[in-house]
Amino acid sequence: MSKFSSVLTFVVLFLALTAGCAHTGSAQKSDSGATDTESAKAFPAPRPVSAAATTPAPGSFAPVVKKVLPSVVSISSTRVVKTAAPMLPFDDPFFRRFFGPGLNVPHEFKQKGLGSGVILKGNVVVTNNHVVDGADEIKVNTSDKREFKAKVVGTDAQSDLAVLRLEGNLTGLVPLDFGDSSHLQLGDVVLAVGYPFGVGETVTMGIVSGLRRSDLGIEQYENFIQTDAAINPGNSGGALVDMTGNLVGINTAILSQSGGYMGIGFAIPSEMAKPIVAALLAHGKVVRGYLGVSIQDLTPELAAALKLSGTSGVLVSGVAPDTPAAKAGIQRGDVILKINGESMNSSSQLRNVVAAAGSGAKVELEISRAGKTKTLTAELGELPATLGGATNNPSPSEGGPGTVSGLTLEPLTPDARNEYKIPASVTSGLVITGVQSDSPAGVAGLRPGDVVLEVNRKKVTTVGQFKSEWKKSTNQVLLLVQRGDGTMFLVLGK
């Protein structure tokens, strides 16, 4: 075939293939022999979006998100941080020529932080204390791209909550109502809403993985909801909502080895947050209730040593003088079973219930004492900033140091008091100055600086008294120990 014939054949084929793609008023044949109308039936064009197309699919969380999202805000804070002036290697004019006089002057820089918050009624926003702590300037951005300046109404570092007021035109703000977190159950579906890493509004889904989490060392007052909904830096202060869109928690912390989400997040429950927010709005601070007892959880070993029938309730290991507890008749060794009809299952729960009740509240306590149940009424005081009172230093007790079952003990002397910083309110007992780690004392958790006040419910002031009570016991002894400002019972095996 000649070159001319080849070119002519190519042109004919090209025209035949492109004829079906021409857009004219009449139907054209395609290279397959089908018309455009027939092709449209096989491959219909996309339909215009209609109202029906925006209806959420079954199981979608879109309606909940649509309700909640306008109420969750992004919070940016700015604080001025001062740093000390760097030290020059030599105080010499030659070096100052190159480095300048600014090296001898303290430097300032602005530190920025990001977090989230939730709009409550009016112009009130709740967030975490650590989001705004020490901030010189706070800005709040809403989901509709508006920006507000905000002022701190009050903060509570012990629960990590803060309340802000927005300034400016508040038209169109959408508040979110507190739900009742006490109705949450393990396995309930929840959504975490916030602004992690500054990427914008973000919604994650999970379940309630745990309830009443405490003793984590995150805050002084803990009663957390645990969830596996993804919570990351920037989510702090954001909303944890149930499937009705009610606010059941304020996202506050994560457990992580990397600094990012690892499946364990914590939120302050609404039942705890609601009264704290109300107190901050009313007084700018939180006034917590105070009973005046040292308390601890009951273990099977403690229950057996105290001859209790079970581990229900919270053990009273000490009662401070002239406190609501002392006035109500509570005694060391009592077990608090209920407060206002609510069963007490842990010392952290009791502490939270008393604190939340507030100063001046009258509470009914059901206690167990020597196998009998009693009901007492206490009028709570205000939790003082510092606990305990000072008394005169006691005279040295009789006797010298001694060792018993891995414990090195000595009388409470002024030197021992100073060395171990023992409170002046502790007027008698034996100071532990050494503990063998592999001994029964080490296993029991005793530490140098602890003060043994009682052995088997009898006061001891000499090592001889301790040894005497030790010999009388068969398998174990019950110790009452002062540690810092509090007292606790410990069981020491033989």
Same domain, 188 and 149: no
Categorize the per-residue pLDDT at 20 as very low, low, confident or very high, splitting at 50, 70 and 90.
Answer: very low
Least-confidence region, from 3-7, 318-322, 378-382: 3-7
Q: Provide mean pLDDT across the span 316-322.
A: 88
Q: What is the pLDDT of residue 337?
A: 95
Q: Which two tokens stand for residue 87?
A: 């030290």
- Sequence-distant (≥ 6) Cβ neighbours of residue 388 within 8 angstroms: 320, 423, 425, 485
Same domain, 372 and 338: yes
| Highest-confidence segment of 79-83, 253-257, 334-338, 486-490 | 334-338
Render pLDDT for 50-102 as a digit per residue (tens, 0 to 9). 444 566 677 789 999 999 999 999 999 888 766 655 554 545 554 444 455 55
Q: What is the pLDDT of residue 51?
A: 47
Same domain, 377 and 413: no
Same domain, 296 and 279: no
Q: What is the pLDDT of residue 126?
A: 97
For residue 160, give the CATH number of its domain: 2.40.10.10
Q: What is the pLDDT of residue 66?
A: 94
Active-site residue (options: 71, 116, 159, 236): 236
- Sequence-distant (≥ 6) Cβ neighbours of residue 450 within 8 angstroms: 431, 432, 481, 482, 483
Q: Provide mean pLDDT across the span 120-140.
A: 92
Same domain, 209 and 231: yes
Domains: count for the chain: 4
pLDDT at 1 over 60: no
Burial-class residue 421 by CB neighbours within 10 Å (0-12, 13-18, 19+): exposed
Same domain, 303 and 366: yes
Same domain, 309 and 250: no
Q: What is the pLDDT of residue 270?
A: 95
The verdict on residue 128 lying in a domain is: yes
Residues 85 and 95: their CA atoms lie apart, in Å, by: 15
Same domain, 212 and 261: yes
Q: Which two tokens stand for residue 414?
A: 């002024």
CB atoms within 10 A of CB 189: 14
Least-confidence region, from 64-73, 213-222, 363-372: 213-222
Q: What is the pLDDT of residue 58?
A: 73
The verdict on residue 91 lying in a domain is: yes
The verdict on residue 268 lying in a domain is: yes
Residues 321 and 91: their CA atoms lie apart, in Å, by: 59
The verdict on residue 375 lying in a domain is: yes
Share of the chain above pLDDT 70, in %: 77
Q: For residues 490 and 399, which has the higher predicted lDDT (pLDDT)?
A: 490
Residue 130 is among the residues annotated as catalytic for this protein? yes
The verdict on residue 23 lying in a domain is: no
Render pLDDT for 265-292 as a digit per residue (tens, 0 to 9). 999 999 999 999 999 999 898 888 999 9
Active-site residue (options: 74, 159, 160, 317): 160
Categorize the per-residue pLDDT at 262 as very low, low, confident or very high, splitting at 50, 70 and 90.
Answer: confident
pLDDT averaged over every residue in the chain: 80
- Sequence-distant (≥ 6) Cβ neighbours of residue 386 within 8 angstroms: none
The verdict on residue 347 lying in a domain is: yes
Q: For residues 38 and 416, which has the higher predicted lDDT (pLDDT)?
A: 416
Same domain, 215 and 271: yes
Same domain, 212 and 305: no
Q: Tell me how far CA of residue 8 lies from CA of 1, 3, 17, 52, 230, in angstroms.
A: 11, 9, 15, 54, 66
Question: Final residue of a domain: which of 167, 194, 210?
Answer: 167
For residue 313, give the CATH number of its domain: 2.30.42.10
Categorize the per-residue pLDDT at 124 as very low, low, confident or very high, splitting at 50, 70 and 90.
Answer: very high
The verdict on residue 370 lying in a domain is: yes
Question: Final residue of a domain: which of 235, 253, 283?
Answer: 283
Residue 160 is among the residues annotated as catalytic for this protein? yes
Active-site residue (options: 74, 76, 116, 130): 130
Categorize the per-residue pLDDT at 23 as very low, low, confident or very high, splitting at 50, 70 and 90.
Answer: very low
Same domain, 271 and 293: no
The verdict on residue 273 lying in a domain is: yes
What range does the domain containing 457 cover?
A: 402-493
Q: Provide mean pLDDT across the span 42-52.
A: 46
Q: What is the pLDDT of residue 222?
A: 86
Place of tokens 């009028």: 379
Helices then strands, counting H and E runs in the chain, come out as 12, 27
pTM: 0.64
Question: Final residue of a domain: which of 382, 417, 435?
Answer: 382
Residues 31 and 293: their CA atoms lie apart, in Å, by: 92
Q: What is the pLDDT of residue 316?
A: 92
Share of the chain above pLDDT 90, in %: 40
Same domain, 417 and 483: yes
Residues 345 and 318: their CA atoms lie apart, in Å, by: 18
Q: What is the pLDDT of residue 417?
A: 86
Categorize the per-residue pLDDT at 423 as very low, low, confident or very high, splitting at 50, 70 and 90.
Answer: confident
Q: For residues 188 and 318, which has the higher predicted lDDT (pLDDT)?
A: 188
Q: For residues 11 and 359, which has the higher predicted lDDT (pLDDT)?
A: 359
Q: What is the pLDDT of residue 26?
A: 36
